[in-house]
Protein backbone atom coordinates (compact mmCIF):
# COMPACT_ATOMS: atom_id res chain seq x y z
CA UNK A 1 0.00 0.00 0.00
CA UNK A 2 1.33 3.39 -0.92
CA UNK A 3 1.50 5.98 1.83
CA UNK A 4 2.66 9.56 1.71
CA UNK A 5 3.76 11.84 4.54
CA UNK A 6 1.56 14.59 5.90
CA UNK A 7 2.75 17.38 8.16
CA UNK A 8 1.10 20.68 8.93
CA UNK A 9 1.10 23.47 11.48
CA UNK A 10 -2.20 23.73 13.34
CA UNK A 11 -1.33 26.92 15.23
CA UNK A 12 -2.33 29.28 12.39
CA UNK A 13 -5.99 28.21 12.53
CA UNK A 14 -6.37 27.23 16.16
CA UNK A 15 -4.88 30.27 17.85
CA UNK A 16 -6.21 33.77 17.25
CA UNK A 17 -3.02 35.65 18.09
CA UNK A 18 0.55 35.39 16.80
CA UNK A 19 2.67 33.09 18.87
CA UNK A 20 6.40 32.46 19.07
CA UNK A 21 7.81 29.53 17.11
CA UNK A 22 8.74 27.79 20.36
CA UNK A 23 5.00 27.41 21.11
CA UNK A 24 4.04 26.38 17.54
CA UNK A 25 5.58 22.94 18.05
CA UNK A 26 2.64 22.20 20.38
CA UNK A 27 0.19 22.61 17.47
CA UNK A 28 1.21 20.01 14.85
CA UNK A 29 -0.29 17.30 12.70
CA UNK A 30 2.09 14.66 11.35
CA UNK A 31 1.76 11.19 9.94
CA UNK A 32 0.99 9.19 6.82
CA UNK A 33 -2.05 8.98 4.53
CA UNK A 34 -2.87 6.69 1.63
CA UNK A 35 -1.80 7.84 -1.78
CA UNK A 36 -4.55 9.45 -3.83
CA UNK A 37 -7.28 7.21 -5.20
CA UNK A 38 -6.43 6.38 -8.79
CA UNK A 39 -2.77 7.28 -8.41
CA UNK A 40 -0.09 4.74 -9.18
CA UNK A 41 0.10 2.24 -6.28
CA UNK A 42 -2.73 3.74 -4.25
CA UNK A 43 -3.13 0.19 -2.91
CA UNK A 44 -6.04 -1.41 -1.15
CA UNK A 45 -6.88 0.68 1.85
CA UNK A 46 -9.49 0.06 4.54
CA UNK A 47 -11.11 2.16 7.22
CA UNK A 48 -9.81 -0.24 9.88
CA UNK A 49 -6.32 0.93 8.92
CA UNK A 50 -6.83 4.35 10.43
CA UNK A 51 -4.90 5.20 13.57
CA UNK A 52 -5.02 8.48 15.45
CA UNK A 53 -3.15 9.78 18.47
CA UNK A 54 -3.21 12.98 20.46
CA UNK A 55 0.04 13.79 22.24
CA UNK A 56 1.08 10.14 21.89
CA UNK A 57 -2.17 8.68 23.29
CA UNK A 58 -4.06 6.39 20.88
CA UNK A 59 -7.58 7.74 20.39
CA UNK A 60 -10.63 7.27 18.22
CA UNK A 61 -11.59 10.31 16.16
CA UNK A 62 -14.68 9.34 14.14
CA UNK A 63 -15.34 12.87 12.89
CA UNK A 64 -11.80 13.19 11.49
CA UNK A 65 -12.10 9.69 10.02
CA UNK A 66 -15.33 10.74 8.25
CA UNK A 67 -13.69 13.96 7.04
CA UNK A 68 -10.85 11.98 5.44
CA UNK A 69 -13.39 9.52 3.99
CA UNK A 70 -15.38 12.35 2.41
CA UNK A 71 -12.38 13.83 0.64
CA UNK A 72 -11.31 10.29 -0.44
CA UNK A 73 -14.75 9.67 -1.99
CA UNK A 74 -14.58 12.94 -3.87
CA UNK A 75 -11.37 11.72 -5.53
CA UNK A 76 -12.24 8.00 -5.78
CA UNK A 77 -15.68 8.47 -7.34
CA UNK A 78 -14.25 10.77 -10.01
CA UNK A 79 -11.59 8.23 -10.97
CA UNK A 80 -13.86 5.15 -10.88
CA UNK A 81 -17.03 6.55 -12.53
CA UNK A 82 -19.03 6.90 -9.33
CA UNK A 83 -18.17 3.48 -7.86
CA UNK A 84 -16.37 3.95 -4.54
CA UNK A 85 -14.86 0.76 -3.17
CA UNK A 86 -11.70 1.59 -1.27
CA UNK A 87 -11.27 3.47 1.97
CA UNK A 88 -8.28 5.61 2.96
CA UNK A 89 -5.66 4.44 5.42
CA UNK A 90 -3.87 6.85 7.73
CA UNK A 91 -1.69 7.17 10.77
CA UNK A 92 -2.02 10.67 12.20
CA UNK A 93 -0.38 12.13 15.28
CA UNK A 94 -1.89 15.35 16.55
CA UNK A 95 0.09 17.47 19.00
CA UNK A 96 -1.95 20.07 20.84
CA UNK A 97 -1.91 21.52 24.37
CA UNK A 98 -3.69 19.39 27.00
CA UNK A 99 -6.23 22.15 27.54
CA UNK A 100 -7.59 21.67 23.99
CA UNK A 101 -9.03 18.18 24.56
CA UNK A 102 -10.72 16.08 27.24
CA UNK A 103 -9.95 12.38 27.61
CA UNK A 104 -12.38 11.76 30.48
CA UNK A 105 -15.30 10.82 28.24
CA UNK A 106 -14.95 7.01 28.43
CA UNK A 107 -13.13 4.71 30.89
CA UNK A 108 -10.68 3.42 28.25
CA UNK A 109 -9.62 7.04 27.44
CA UNK A 110 -9.82 6.38 23.66
CA UNK A 111 -12.83 8.61 23.14
CA UNK A 112 -11.89 12.28 23.35
CA UNK A 113 -13.61 15.61 23.08
CA UNK A 114 -11.66 18.15 20.99
CA UNK A 115 -12.28 21.85 21.58
CA UNK A 116 -11.61 22.82 17.95
CA UNK A 117 -12.56 19.58 16.17
CA UNK A 118 -14.27 21.34 13.25
CA UNK A 119 -11.21 23.51 12.60
CA UNK A 120 -8.88 20.51 12.81
CA UNK A 121 -11.11 18.55 10.41
CA UNK A 122 -11.04 21.44 7.95
CA UNK A 123 -7.25 21.72 8.15
CA UNK A 124 -6.87 17.96 7.61
CA UNK A 125 -9.28 17.99 4.64
CA UNK A 126 -7.46 20.92 3.01
CA UNK A 127 -4.03 19.37 3.56
CA UNK A 128 -5.02 15.91 2.32
CA UNK A 129 -6.84 17.40 -0.66
CA UNK A 130 -3.73 19.40 -1.60
CA UNK A 131 -1.54 16.27 -1.31
CA UNK A 132 -3.89 14.08 -3.37
CA UNK A 133 -4.49 16.75 -6.00
CA UNK A 134 -0.75 17.08 -6.54
CA UNK A 135 -0.56 13.31 -7.07
CA UNK A 136 -3.21 12.92 -9.75
CA UNK A 137 -3.92 16.18 -11.57
CA UNK A 138 -1.74 16.57 -14.64
CA UNK A 139 1.17 14.66 -13.19
CA UNK A 140 3.15 12.22 -15.24
CA UNK A 141 6.33 10.40 -14.48
CA UNK A 142 9.37 11.92 -16.16
CA UNK A 143 9.57 10.71 -19.76
CA UNK A 144 6.58 8.38 -19.22
CA UNK A 145 5.28 8.78 -22.78
CA UNK A 146 8.75 8.56 -24.28
CA UNK A 147 9.53 5.38 -22.33
CA UNK A 148 6.25 3.77 -23.34
CA UNK A 149 6.96 4.67 -26.95
CA UNK A 150 10.42 3.12 -26.76
CA UNK A 151 9.00 -0.04 -25.16
CA UNK A 152 6.41 -0.37 -27.91
CA UNK A 153 9.07 0.13 -30.61
CA UNK A 154 11.39 -2.44 -29.07
CA UNK A 155 8.51 -4.94 -28.76
CA UNK A 156 7.62 -4.37 -32.40
CA UNK A 157 11.28 -4.79 -33.43
CA UNK A 158 11.60 -8.03 -31.48
CA UNK A 159 8.41 -9.34 -33.06
CA UNK A 160 9.61 -8.30 -36.53
CA UNK A 161 12.97 -9.99 -35.94
CA UNK A 162 11.31 -13.21 -34.82
CA UNK A 163 8.96 -13.11 -37.83
CA UNK A 164 11.93 -12.65 -40.17
CA UNK A 165 13.81 -15.57 -38.62
CA UNK A 166 10.89 -17.95 -38.97
CA UNK A 167 10.10 -16.91 -42.53
CA UNK A 168 13.65 -17.17 -43.88
CA UNK A 169 13.72 -20.18 -46.17
CA UNK A 170 16.89 -21.47 -47.72
CA UNK A 171 16.69 -22.87 -51.25
CA UNK A 172 18.63 -26.06 -51.66
Rounded mean pLDDT for each run of 10 residues along the chain, 172 residues in total: 85 66 78 81 60 95 93 71 69 93 90 91 93 73 60 62 52 50
Distance CA 6, CA 59 (A): 18
Closest CA to 1 of 40, 31, 29: 40
pLDDT at residue 55, as a whole number: 95
Closest CA to 32 of 96, 90, 100, 101: 90
Distance CA 81, CA 155 (A): 32
Treating both helix axes as pointing N-terminal to C-terminal, what angle do 117-136 and 62-79 enclose, rounded to 10 degrees? 30
Closest CA to 14 of 22, 5, 23: 23
Amino acid sequence: MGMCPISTDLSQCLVSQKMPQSIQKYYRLEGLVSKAPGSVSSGKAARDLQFFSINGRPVELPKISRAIGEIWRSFDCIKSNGECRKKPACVLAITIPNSMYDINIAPDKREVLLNEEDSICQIIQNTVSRIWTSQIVGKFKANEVENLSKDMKSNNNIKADSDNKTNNFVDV
